[in-house]
């Protein structure tokens, strides 16, 4: 069984992330959507909230399992027997960072390979940060996030004002 891992903050998960997961689920037997506890980023949602939103957003796909992790992703990958790291590439600007990350992960874990997926054109410029800003400023992000994420994000933004 080929187990792949897609790790990130997912603050919040976007349709771009979901598109990458959907594509990867056609290639791999099982995908672990690994939600990072500490990423060096200031998150708007708690770890539990991010996991819950991820679970609800990917519930349609039985190949995807959402799990929390802390520490190095390569250690978590070993723990869950994943041999493939999934990463999304949006633009050329992502490539240098993602290549560095893939090379570091390979250095830390020789058996872990990185596979890149490119999301649909309409998601190429999309980021969680951008979604948070659009919603915080009263914009419509419904084409780019699931309904449950949109509702939670609007509530979060409203409570922080």
Domain count for the chain, please give it. 1
Catalytic residue among 30, 56, 63, 90: 90
Residue 161 among the catalytic residues: no
Catalytic residue among 38, 41, 79, 120: 41
Span 8-40, pLDDT tens digits: 999 999 999 999 999 999 999 999 999 999 777
Span 65-113, pLDDT tens digits: 999 999 999 999 999 999 999 999 987 778 888 999 999 999 999 999 9
Look up residue 108 and give its two tokens: 């830390």
Q: Running DSSP on this structure, what letter comes out for residue 137?
A: T
pLDDT band at 41 (very low <50, low <70, confident <90, very high): confident
**3-state SS, one letter per residue, for 64-125:** EEEEEECCCHHHHHHHCCCCEEEEECCCHHHHHHHHHHHHHHHHHCCCCEEEEECCCHHHCC
Place of tokens 């519930």: 59
Look up residue 22 and give its two tokens: 């959907």
CA distances from 10 to 1, 15, 38, 111, 152 (A): 26, 11, 12, 25, 13
Note down the domain range covering 136.
3-159
Catalytic residue among 57, 128, 132, 146: 128
Residue 22: count of CB within 10 angstroms of its CB? 19
Residue 120 among the catalytic residues: no
What's the pLDDT at 46?
94
Query: How far is it, in rounded angstroms, from Cα 140 to Cα 52?
Result: 22
Residue 159 among the catalytic residues: no
Residue 85: CATH number of its domain: 3.40.50.620
Catalytic residue among 17, 50, 87, 132: 17
Residue 38 among the catalytic residues: no
Which of 93, 20, 96, 103 shows the shortest CA–CA distance to 6?
Answer: 20
pTM: 0.93
Those residues whose C-beta lies under 8 Å from the C-beta of residue 51, and which sit 6 or more positions away, are: 35, 66, 68
């Amino acid at each position: 069984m080929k187990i792949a891992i897609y790790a990130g903050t997912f603050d919040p998960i976007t349709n771009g992330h979901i598109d990458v997961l959907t594509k990867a689920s056609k290639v791999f037997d099982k995908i672990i959507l690994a939600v990072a506890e500490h990423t060096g980023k200031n998150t708007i949602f708690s770890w539990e909230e991010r996991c819950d939103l991820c679970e609800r957003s990917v519930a349609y796909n039985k190949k995807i399992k959402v799990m929390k992790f802390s520490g190095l992703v390569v250690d978590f990958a070993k723990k869950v027997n994943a041999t493939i790291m999934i990463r999304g590439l949006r633009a050329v600007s992502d490539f240098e960072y993602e290549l560095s990350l893939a090379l570091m992960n390979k250095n830390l874990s020789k058996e872990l390979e990185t596979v890149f997926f490119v999301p649909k054109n309409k998601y190429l410029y999309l980021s969680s940060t951008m979604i948070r800003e659009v919603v915080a400023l009263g914009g419509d992000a419904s084409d780019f996030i699931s309904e449950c994420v949109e509702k939670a994000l609007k509530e979060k933004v409203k409570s922080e004002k």
